[in-house]
Each structure stands twice: as C-alpha cells, then as structure tokens.
C-alpha cells in the first residue's frame, strides 16, 4: 500500500509511505491459490483502509482478498482463514467505490457466473460485465448484467474504471469485440476502449437486463 498526504508534492519520493511487502501462499484455498494482484484501496465505514485484491484461482466461486492496513499505512496484514470472500468477477481487475446516497459499495465486475464451470479458469472468462453492490465489503450481490456476449474466446469487457455522475455511472472499458478488420485477436487483446453510461444505476435489477450490443459501433 502506498500513501501520501493530500497536501504533499506527489513528485517527491520521500513524501510517500510504503507498507510492508505481503507475499501470497500457494497453499491457500486448498492449494488453488495462484496469486493476488491489482488491489483497491477502500475506506471502510469505520474509517479503516482495506486493500481488496483480485485473486487468481482455478476454482469457483470467484474470490477477492481483504488485506487490512494500519492507519499509518505502514503495516499490511492478511488472515487467510477469513480474508477471502466470494466476489463475482474477483478473478479479474475491478474497482470499488462507495455511494453515500445508497449507503452501498459498488463495483463493475467481469463475472463468470453465467458460464459453464468446465470451460475455463475464471480469469479467462471476460465476456459478461455485471453491476454489483455490498453494504459491508464482504457480501456482494449482482444487481444487473450490463454487457454480455455468448462467445468468451474473442469477446471481453474488462479492466473497467468508472465514476458516479449524479444518478448515473459513467465508465470506460477495455473491450474485445467485432470490427471491420476481423475483430479482436482474443478476449484479452482488446481492440476497443469504449465509453458507457448506465442511468439510474441504484434502481437497476436482475429483471431488467440490457440487450447485448450487436456490433462495435453501439457499445456506448
């Protein structure tokens, strides 16, 4: 974890505080733990800081890891017995943000929940983007399927970063999709960076799935 005072010169290395290095352990998750990466610094309701990380594992359901960080930003600790949580899309990069109006934490995640469990490891399934939320950063609920395509080999909606814009969510997405040159090489090697707006996100439910886009031109 890296931190710096908000009034400091960000270009001076000495102003930054670094926590300890926290290695993973391949024995975690009954030997199915392959690594953790691409974490989120998230402030809890009581003002503590967590680093919530993507977890690479071959097993389902997908998981994330909650790492605790001390208030001074110098010590990161992890309890493997209870630090792993079920997190839709946890095998791919995600961003978590808190919405004061709803009192919920929200994320846009690339989930493999609707895929056959034998097709691939979770990190390789990126063809469905969902809206998720949580009140406690532990128990997560899928609110709506936002983007999807039935083919997971050459289609992907991934590495989404986003912001609240009033009652809407605006987002940019690394997208692998059809184009006029034969489409993306594979789900990972995206050929688009797409912009999206989902209106009235707090009211979206699983009963109101968006229609999947038909071509690269209407991925908006």
**Domain residue spans in the chain?**
2-218
Q: Which helix (H) or strand (E) holds 104?
A: strand 104-110
Phi-psi category of 31—alpha, beta or left, where left has phi over 0 and alpha has psi -120 to 50?
left
Separation CA 42–CA 97 (nearest Å)? 7
Separation CA 139–CA 131 (nearest Å)? 14
Separation CA 207–CA 204 (nearest Å)? 8
pLDDT at 53: 98
Separation CA 145–CA 171 (nearest Å)? 15
What's the token pair of residue 45?
Answer: 């309701």
Helix (H, G, I), strand (E, B), or coil: what is residue 217? helix
Separation CA 220–CA 213 (nearest Å)? 9
pLDDT at 216: 43
What's the token pair of residue 112?
Answer: 């493999």
pLDDT, tens digit only, all 220 positions of the chain: 999 999 999 999 999 999 999 999 999 999 999 999 999 999 999 999 999 999 999 888 999 999 999 999 999 999 999 999 999 999 999 999 999 999 999 999 998 765 555 556 899 999 999 999 999 999 999 999 999 999 999 999 999 999 999 999 999 999 999 999 999 999 999 999 999 999 999 999 986 554 444 444 444 3
- Total number of residues shown for the chain: 220
pLDDT at 119: 58
Strand partners, 131: 108, 144
Phi-psi category of 58—alpha, beta or left, where left has phi over 0 and alpha has psi -120 to 50?
alpha
pLDDT at 56: 95
Supply the pTM of this predicted model. 0.90
Closest CA to 82 of 45, 33, 124, 29: 29
Strand partners, 105: 98, 134
Helix (H, G, I), strand (E, B), or coil: what is residue 122? helix
Listed in sequence order, the DSSP H helices in the chain are 80-83
């Amino acid at each position: 974890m890296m931190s710096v005072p908000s009034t400091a010169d960000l270009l001076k290395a000495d102003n930054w505080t670094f926590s300890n290095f926290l290695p993973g352990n391949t024995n975690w998750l009954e030997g199915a733990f392959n690594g953790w990466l691409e974490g989120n610094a998230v402030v809890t309701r009581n003002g503590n800081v967590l680093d919530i990380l993507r977890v690479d594992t071959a097993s389902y359901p997908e998981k994330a890891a909650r790492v605790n960080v001390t208030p001074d930003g110098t010590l990161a600790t992890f309890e493997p017995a209870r630090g792993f949580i079920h997190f839709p899309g946890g095998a791919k990069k995600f961003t978590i943000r808190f919405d004061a109006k709803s009192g919920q934490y929200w994320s846009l995640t690339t989930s493999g929940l609707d895929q056959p469990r034998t097709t691939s490891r979770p990190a390789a399934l990126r063809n469905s983007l969902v809206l998720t939320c949580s009140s406690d950063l532990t128990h997560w609920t899928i609110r709506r399927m936002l983007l999807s395509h039935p083919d997971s080999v050459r289609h992907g909606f991934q590495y989404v970063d986003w912001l609240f814009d009033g009652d809407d969510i605006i987002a940019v997405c690394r997208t692998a999709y059809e184009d006029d040159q034969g489409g993306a090489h594979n789900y990972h090697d995206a050929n688009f960076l797409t912009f999206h707006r989902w209106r009235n996100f707090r009211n979206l439910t699983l009963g109101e799935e968006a229609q999947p886009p038909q071509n690269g031109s209407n991925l908006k």
